[in-house]
């Protein structure tokens, strides 16, 4: 069975690449970064997450009731979720683009 988690319900806020010291060139908008973030999660692509996340990134997950701060904790969260639900797949249902912050 394939699980689909609406990303709008799971992601409350996180600091995007454009907000902190740049590791790579940031996409032009918060929407583009959010789409890349969800795509990286769905591919289980830790290297892509490392390029997207600023040092002060925050991933707040309402469904799991926790907050991960920084790339290391966010990657640990991804590993835990993959172990628990390996077929989970996020999809974006609604994006509010506020420049360098996506919600």
Residue 97 lies in a domain: no
The mean predicted confidence, pLDDT, of the chain is 73
Residue 71 lies in a domain: yes
pLDDT score of 39? 93
Residue 101 lies in a domain: no
> Domain containing 66: what range?
4-91
Number of compact structural domains in the chain: 1
Residue 63 lies in a domain: yes
C-alpha–C-alpha distance, residues 51 and 71, integer Å: 9
pLDDT score of 99? 60
Residue 44 lies in a domain: yes
Pair 96, 103: CB distance under 8 Å:
yes
Residue 98 lies in a domain: no
Residue 47 lies in a domain: yes
pTM exceeds 0.95, yes or no: no
C-alpha–C-alpha distance, residues 70 and 27, integer Å: 19
Residue 65 lies in a domain: yes
C-alpha–C-alpha distance, residues 95 and 1, integer Å: 27
- Cα 64-20-72 angle, rounded to 5 deg: 40
């Amino acid at each position: 069975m394939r699980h689909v988690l609406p990303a709008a319900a799971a992601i409350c806020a996180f600091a995007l690449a454009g907000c902190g010291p740049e590791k790579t060139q940031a996409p032009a908008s918060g929407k583009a970064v959010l789409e890349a973030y969800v795509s990286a999660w769905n591919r289980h692509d830790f290297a892509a997450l490392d390029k997207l996340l600023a040092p002060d990134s925050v991933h707040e997950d309402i469904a799991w009731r926790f907050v991960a701060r920084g790339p290391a904790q966010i990657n640990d969260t991804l590993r835990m979720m993959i172990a628990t639900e390996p077929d989970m797949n996020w999809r974006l249902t609604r994006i509010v683009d506020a420049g360098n912050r996506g919600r």
